[in-house]
Structure 1
């Protein structure tokens, strides 16, 4: 009988504790059931999430198609939804190099930016979409205005992360304008602010962990107090009801003592577990700090190595260009001692070939990328050099139709040598007896990632019966070999003069403007 009564008390205490713990769950369920979101907003957010998923999978065409269908139904939508849609379409169009489409969405965002002066969130969204696009398309005048607005907004909100991003954009803007000292200063400010943001995040995480720890301890103490209060009340009721039952009270006291002992054991076990967890967290935090210091050191070393690499590449191109100039000067000196006109002509042709390569290394030395040269500028300078070398004067005119195109060294050297041979042959043989004429040089885009280089004249053309396959001259062999090197074939046509053309293709070529 005594044993059954003791077990009944223990079950009553457990039921009381479980009943109290179920109250927060019921209130949480009630709070969750009260939440609701409008159907149109959910549908719009679902479409944006689908487009973002396509973009992460590099399915940009599908993402663009989905967003453009969504655009047709946004005539009466809030400005915030339009801004979210246009920023994504601007990013995708710029990535696909559809710059006319991207310009249209950039104009829409600029017009919407005037209506969100009182909404700082939408202002940030517009600025962070327009500024990288204007910098990528080298529209410095447009980018600088929005960078100034973004900087003012970040200062007003004391937004360190925004100020860091602003200095990174100013670094790119100064680099675009060639102001390298100012760019370096902005990059250093960006690095300092980035470190400050990282420190703030780390302090916030530590404060959050500390708050969670104290909150859990407080909840634990409150639960212990509630349990103790329930036990005391139960003892008081038992004492009032069973004053004459001394032995029964003793049994109840023993049962309560046993329960308290068990609770103390549980509390002590929880305390030890909490101590162990805190120790592990401190060790992990120390390891994270050490890794962060190592990463910062590696990042500094990387910046130094990149800068050294940049100067080494620049010095290499400069020295190659100077060495080629020395060889050209040596050949020029050697030609003074030659009486044979053929030998003199061969040396002069070799000088022209080396000068065409020297121009390439000179352009790479002057280029910011150190790996690409602008084809239309290089070809124009090569034509001017050959015209001056042969002293054509006004007797031979040159027509140029050149698309904006950037070439790497593996394409620029063969194309430069082919141009040198074709233009030299036209100057020497197309207009006998100092006849007047015109030489046309064109570089055009035939289709996507496919280009055509053509040199034509209105001279006498090839003699009758001429077969290119049987021609074994150095210039012709050189043009055939260089054409194969870039994956093309040499084409000669007689049409009111001679036309030499090659078609080449390379997906790595950059095409800033094909209009």
Structure 2
């Protein structure tokens, strides 16, 4: 039973990994709309949307500032507006882990729902905010109370998505209380309801695709009919020309019968040969038309197969990226139960390594080629991720000189891991006591089909007695092994900081982007 529960936890985690699609351009659009909005109702709606966007981007402090500004400028006029405001403020405070402030907002939501005296559908957002809060603060009695109310409201409104969410919270509550059988039952209910929601969306998508297919099929039939009409007109014109030629021949034959009587047999013979030739030409034309139709059908089948192949490759990369995110989440969960700093550090380094690989598969399923990724974009994203992970702020700057290259996945994974190890070591050890510094990353072409990756810093450098051959750290062994994997060697220099260089060459798997 414990094994079955653990498998359920893993499945739940996989379902919970969602790609974050909120972009800065969307936020900029909302901010522009806020500047140009005039009625108070429009500004309230836009401010709420901006706060939601900041919360989804995990910029909760900005979201909380917007919501407090909204509370000061536009006091809530009804229960729905109050619930909407304090639900968002509670979510932002929970993200910031401000327990006292979160408790204040939770108490306000609780007072609003209890003050109304009746339970209505407009209170659902309040329960959706209170339930995660009480779960997070392990107030299981309150959690169970509001889960019951939330479940009844969703049943009354026939809200399948809301019932699925309710079963998911029940699963988390039972798991936290150690009631694994009940947790498994609620998770099964959640999965079934979630599948029904997804199935309905899938049916709508299939119906849309079927309509597009029939429309395209009708267009093709009309084009074929137009082509057939043109061919028939051409054949009719040929037949008319042929009849004119026959009539001319007959007139000449009648007029010159006395003179051309001896030649009538020859003319008749030529006429018969022409008919036979026309029949042969017609048969050849029919065969050509048949082959053309077969070629068109084969081309359509080929396009369908290629589309299916592209979709499958994209799905594989997407699943690999999601599975890596699951492992990262599991490591993050495990670290919460560890008290050893070295164990925390080891788990964090493992998360960074897996994230560098996950970025590669994310780029592959987002790219058009599905086989190559743009190195300079990938390296920039990896640098941004490590900067945010170590929270270095502006203390350490990055200088980048990156050639526009496309990397095959068999080259991108080792190079990404080498970059992760080198940058991580520089951030952790090159600048002790939080001194300022700079890390330089270079990817350039040194000669035809030969490239060099360099990572250097201007930090304190290595000890004078350091010998790379005797170093047995995991990071150094990993970089040496990865260099061998791409047919290269690791070059380390200790001069006004540490410099690491890797030269690699492969004409088949690495191609410069010439666009």
Give CA-to-partner distance per residue, 1:274-302, whole Å, 9 cap, x none. 23222222222222222222222223333
Structure 1 position 379 matched with structure 2 position 374: no
Deviation at 1:332, TM superposition (A): 1.4
Is 1:501–2:498 an aligned residue pair? no
Q: Take 1:329 and 1:400, find their aligned partners in 2: how far apart are those partners?
A: 30
Seen in structure 2, the aligned counterparts of structure 1 residues 379 and 276 have a Cα distance that, compared at 3 Å, is same
Shift of 1:383: 0.9
State the match for 1:25 in structure 2: none
What do you get for the CA RMSD once the two structures are aligned?
A: 3.7
> Residue 205 and residue 495 in structure 1: after superposition, are their counterparts in 2 closer, same or farther (change >3 A)?
farther
Give the Cα–Cα distance (whole angstroms) in 2 for the partners of residues 359 and 189 of structure 1: 43
* 1:482 counterpart = 2:479: no
CA distance in 2 between counterparts of 1:468 and 1:197 reads: 76
Match of 2:376, SS?
Answer: helix
TM-superposed deviation, 1:325 = 0.7
Which residue does 1:390 correspond to in 2?
390
Give 1:265 deviation, angstroms. 3.6
Would you say the 8 A contact 2:396–2:438 is kept in 1? yes
- Give the match for residue 300 of structure 1: 300
Q: Secondary structure at the match of 1:455?
A: strand
CA gap of 1:207–1:352, structure 2 versus 1, over 3 A, is farther
Q: Secondary structure at the match of 1:509?
A: strand
Q: 1:491 to 1:271 in 2, by over 3 A?
A: same
Of residues 270-279 and 409-418 in structure 1, the stretch that sits farther from structure 2 once superposed is 270-279
- 2:348 match: 348
Q: Distance in 2 between matches of 1:390 and 1:326?
A: 21
- Tell me, yes or no, if structure 1 residue 511 matches structure 2 residue 505: no
- Give the drift of 1:192: 8.9
Displacement after TM superposition at 1:415 (Å): 1.4
Question: 2: distance between equivalents of 1:408 and 1:189?
Answer: 42
Task: Within 5 Å, give how 1:119-134 maps onto structure 2.
Answer: none
CA shift in 2, pair 1:489/1:222, >3 Å: farther
Q: Is the partner of 1:493 in helix, strand or coil?
A: strand
3-state SS of the aligned residue for 1:320? helix
Contact 2:253 2:264 in 1 (8 A): no
SS in structure 1 at match of 2:440? strand
| Residues 449/298 of structure 1: CA separation in 2 closer, same or farther (3 Å cut) | same
**Partner residue in 2 for 1:266:** 266
Contact 2:398 2:440 survives alignment (8 Å)? yes
Q: Distance in 2 between matches of 1:371 and 1:197?
A: 42
Structure 1 residue 472 and structure 2 residue 472: aligned?
A: yes
Superimposed CA distance per residue, residues 311-368 of structure 1 (whole angstroms, 9 cap, x where no aligned partner): 3333222222111111001111122233443333222211111000111122223223
Determine the C-alpha separation between the residues in 2 that align with 1:306 and 1:422. Answer: 40
**Aligned runs of 1:49-128 on 2, under 5 Å?**
none
Greater alpha carbon shift after TM alignment, 202-211 vs 272-281: 202-211
| 1:465–1:309 Cα change, 3 Å | same
Q: Distance in 1 between matches of 2:243 and 2:417?
A: 76
| Aligned counterpart, 1:409 | 409
State how far apart, in whole Å, the 1-side matches of 2:494 and 2:223 are: 65
Partner of 1:438: 438
Superimposed CA distance per residue, residues 181-211 of structure 1 (whole angstroms, 9 cap, x where no aligned partner):
xxx9xx9999899869976986697578658
Following TM superposition, by how much is the alpha carbon of 1:446 offset from its aligned partner in structure 2, in angstroms?
A: 2.7
Q: CA deviation at 1:485?
A: 2.9
Rate the CA distance shift 1:444–1:190 in 2: closer, same or farther, 3 A: farther
Task: Tell me how far apart the structure 2 counterparts of residues 222 and 447 of structure 1 sit (CA, whole Å).
Answer: 83
Paired position in structure 2 for 1:460: 460
Shift of the 452–190 alpha-carbon distance from structure 1 to 2, 3 Å rule, reads farther
TM-score of the superposition, structure 2-length normalised?
0.50
**Structure 2 vs 1, CA of residues 483 and 193 (structure 1 numbering), >3 Å: closer, same or farther?**
farther
Output aligned runs, 1:20-39, within 5 Å. Answer: none
Aligned residues: 302
Paired residues of 2:398 and 2:439 also in contact (CA < 8 A): yes
Residue 499 of structure 1: how far off its partner (Å): 0.9
What is the TM-score normalised by the length of structure 1?
Answer: 0.50
Q: Distance in 2 between matches of 1:194 and 1:491?
A: 65
Tell me the residue number matched to 1:5.
none
Structure 2 matches for 1:271-286, cutoff 5 A?
271-286=271-286
Report the CA distance between 1:418 and its aligned residue.
Answer: 1.0
Residue 420 of structure 1: how far off its partner (Å):
0.4
Distance in 2 (CA, whole Å) between partners of 1:409 and 1:330 is 25
Tell me the alpha carbon deviations over residues 360-415 of structure 1, each in whole angstroms, 9 at most, x when there is no partner.
12222322333332222211111111122222233322222223333232222121
- Paired with 2:512 and 2:236, the residues of 1 have a C-alpha distance of 49
**Cα displacement string for residues 441-496 of structure 1 (whole angstroms, at most 9, x for unaligned residues):** 12223344333221100122233343333433332232223223334332212221
Shift of 1:439: 0.8
SS at match of 2:263: helix
Within 1, Cα distance between the matches of 2:222 and 2:495? Answer: 66
| Partners of 1:201 and 1:486 in 2: CA distance | 61
Q: Deviations over 1:244-291 (max 9, x none)?
A: xxxxxxxxxxxxxxxx4x634433433332232222222222222222
1:160-171 matched pairs, under 5 angstroms: none
- The C-alpha deviation readout for 1:190-242, integer Å capped at 9, x for no partner, is 989986997698669757865885687578668757874645xxxxxxxxxxx
Structure 2 segments unaligned to the other structure (5+ residues): 1-212
Residues 193 and 440 of structure 1: is their aligned pair in 2 closer, same or farther, counting only changes over 3 Å?
A: farther
